[in-house]
Structure 1
Amino acid sequence: MADNARPNQHKFLDDKPSRVCGDMSTWITIAVIERIHNDIKNI
């Protein structure tokens, strides 16, 4: 039964979280860049 449940889970994972993860990594990258910019200004 676990094997039968897997394909649907994979399809769900392919549908949404990949996009969410992409957004998260983008936001994290932006936050890191902004922090680096602030550090450079402070020096």
Structure 2
Amino acid sequence: MDIVCLDLEGVLVPEIWIAFAEATGIPELKRTTRDEPDYDKLMKY
């Protein structure tokens, strides 16, 4: 048996946080680890 696992978000479908940020009107939610690679810093943004 072969199993393939993919990180769907941003690979096969658009980043969910961008759409969520636009729907809620919270632009800070658009920021991802692409914008800020330091996860701790990103969580405090």
- TM-score, with structure 1 as normaliser: 0.35
With CA pairs under 8 Å and 6+ residues apart, which has the higher RCO, 1 or 2?
2
**Structure holding more helix per residue:** 1
